[in-house]
Amino acid sequence: MSAHELWSEYYRQFHDQLCQFLECSFPRLGDQVEDIVQTVLAEALSKPPSQPLTAQQLAGWLRVAARHRALDLLRAAECRLLVRLSQLGRQDSEQSAWEPADQRPTPSSQLAQQQRRGRQGLLLSEVLQEFCRWCEGRPDGLKMKQIYERSLRGQKPQLIPASRG
């Protein structure tokens, strides 16, 4: 049997099993599962065993090899994360990398927000006054004003004309 035929046979026979095993055992790997499976199958082809293995023995060997590759990847990712966290701690010596920053607004930002709300309220008040003047100047304006006021109180606009006698 040629190497290509053997690769095709291994791929058909063990690919789905190994992918499912890795996805269930190591959900953090995500899209790296396929790469691990292909690496393990290629390794199995490049290092043939000294004695022939049964399909069950080969499946076990592939699972162990895939597990080792997955653990290696997770360890490497964990090391990179720890290095980044330690660098964060060195950059900001006042605050530990594990302590969250104070998220409360400063007094000056609270004052600015309060002033902004006040200006928005005045603008909204002016708009509503202008709308009321506009409604009163139209022949059917009072109906529109009543509909608007009722909708502000929670009554649905579709039900307002039905409720007016």
The continuous run of DSSP H or E covering 2 comes out as none
pTM: predicted TM-score of the whole model, two decimal places: 0.49
Q: Where along the chain do its domains lie?
A: 3-91, 120-163
What is the Rg, in whole angstroms, of the alpha carbon atoms belonging to the chain? 35
Burial of residue 18, with CB atoms counted within 10 A of its CB: 0-12 exposed, 13-18 middle, 19 or more buried? buried
Q: Which helix (H) or strand (E) covers residue 113, if one does?
A: helix 107-136
Query: What is the pLDDT tens value at each position of the chain, 165 positions in all?
Result: 665 666 677 777 888 888 898 999 988 888 899 999 888 888 877 776 677 777 788 788 889 999 999 999 999 888 888 888 877 766 555 555 555 666 777 888 888 888 888 888 777 777 777 777 777 777 766 666 677 677 777 777 666 666 554
